[in-house]
């Protein structure tokens, strides 16, 4: 037993050290934040300019805005503040969301749960300097599963980045047709507003390291295989559908983005509930 306790302590120490390194890597000076895309889009709305611009109209690819219009409107109030103040407030929201994402895991602490919580917190906090919205989506989903707002929050997340909608498979596996329809309906409704904008310049490429750009056929095959596997699990009503769908998100996203792996932690409550039902 003493050896086991020492092994657990050593393992958690190594995980903690890795998390510190991960967070530190995210705070390397000179990182251009993804929030620039949100800030610039909101300012274009204020100025009455086009929301969606062709890629060659941007000074930097990271400034490209690909999200539903509502998110740019949500950023408009922040543009009335000095940019540094607005970014500080936004990063504070992301940090709080990162903490919220691990709260469900820590309700029943265990060595495995603590390890997952540390890794998730580290991954999401390392994203704070980049100020990408992913941490907010993961934190909101982690909290929302315990309430009736879960499908709505999932729909909102899907309106920002479509791949979280893979989690709808969890509702299908539980035969919760209404919740699945609500999630898809909310995402569709929020995206439908884009039809009021000029979409001829909407960007179709992906920033960063992209499997789609390097090997588009391989990406299509991967996505089809992932969707088929999740569909098979959902059809069988497997309690593993939630976890498989969450793990599939970083595989299906064309852009390789480490914080997408945190969706696995976001479905802890959903997995737990599914086990109680089975």
For 201-222, the DSSP string reads: T---S--SSBHHHH-HHHHHHH
Q: Phi, psi at residue 267, to the nearest 5°?
A: -100, 15
Residue 1 confidence (pLDDT) = 63
Per-residue pLDDT averaged across 161-175, rounded? 93
- Give the number of other Cβ atoms within 10 Å of residue 278's Cβ: 9
3-state DSSP call for residue 255? strand
3-state DSSP call for residue 34? coil
CB 242 within 8 A of CB 269: no
Inform me whether the pLDDT recorded for 91 exceeds 70.
yes
Structural domain spans, the chain? 2-277
Per-residue pLDDT averaged across 155-164, rounded? 92
Q: What average pLDDT does the structure give for the chain?
A: 84
Q: pLDDT digit string (tens) for 260-272?
A: 888 988 888 777 7
Residue 151 confidence (pLDDT) = 95
Per-residue pLDDT averaged across 219-235, rounded? 91
Residue 8 confidence (pLDDT) = 60
Residue 181 confidence (pLDDT) = 97
Among 7-11, 37-41, 222-226, which is the least confidently predicted range? 7-11
pLDDT bucket at 56, cuts 50 / 70 / 90: confident
pTM to 2 decimals? 0.84
Sorted by sequence, the CB contacts under 8 Å of residue 154 that are 6+ apart come out as: 141, 144, 164, 165, 167, 168, 183, 186, 187
Supply 12's token pair: 């958690």
Inform me whether the pLDDT recorded for 127 exceeds 70.
yes
CA separation (Å) from 234 to 39, 157, 169, 170, 193?
A: 39, 21, 6, 7, 31
Planar angle of CA 42, 184, 230, nearest 5 degrees: 120
Tell me which of 216 and 30 has the higher pLDDT: 216
Among 18-22, 63-67, 132-136, 159-163, which is the least confidently predicted range? 18-22
CB 164 within 8 A of CB 263: yes
Choose the most confident range, by mean pLDDT, from 44-58, 108-122, 254-268.
44-58
Per-residue pLDDT averaged across 132-148, rounded? 91
Inform me whether the pLDDT recorded for 219 exceeds 70.
yes
CB 188 within 8 A of CB 223: no
pLDDT bucket at 74, cuts 50 / 70 / 90: very high
pLDDT bucket at 12, cuts 50 / 70 / 90: low
């Amino acid at each position: 037993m003493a050896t086991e306790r020492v092994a657990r302590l050593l393992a958690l120490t190594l995980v903690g050290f890795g998390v510190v390194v991960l967070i530190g890597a995210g705070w390397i000076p000179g990182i251009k934040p993804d929030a620039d895309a949100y800030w610039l889009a909101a300012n274009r709305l204020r100025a009455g300019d086009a929301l969606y611009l062709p890629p060659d109209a941007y000074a930097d690819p990271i400034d490209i805005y690909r999200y539903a219009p509502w998110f740019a409107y949500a950023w408009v109030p922040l543009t009335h503040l000095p940019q540094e103040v607005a970014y500080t407030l936004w990063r504070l929201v992301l940090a709080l969301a990162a903490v919220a994402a691990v709260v469900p895991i820590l309700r029943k602490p265990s060595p495995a749960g603590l390890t997952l919580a540390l890794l998730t917190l580290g991954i999401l906090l390392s994203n704070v300097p980049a100020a990408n919205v992913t941490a907010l989506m993961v934190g909101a989903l982690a909290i929302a599963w315990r309430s009736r707002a879960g499908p709505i929050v999932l729909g909102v997340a899907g309106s920002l980045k479509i791949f979280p909608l893979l989690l709808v498979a969890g509702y299908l596996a539980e035969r919760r047709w209404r919740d699945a329809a609500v999630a898809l309906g909310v995402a569709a409704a929020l995206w439908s507003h884009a039809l009021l904008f000029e979409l001829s310049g909407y960007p179709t490429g992906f920033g960063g390291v992209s499997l789609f750009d390097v090997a588009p056929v391989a990406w299509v095959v991967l996505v089809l295989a992932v969707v088929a596997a999740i569909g098979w699990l959902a059809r069988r009503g497997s309690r593993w559908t939630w976890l498989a769908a969450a793990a599939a998100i970083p595989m299906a996203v064309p852009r390789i983005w480490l914080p997408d792996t945190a969706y696995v932690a976001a479905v802890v409550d959903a997995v737990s509930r599914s086990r109680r039902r089975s």
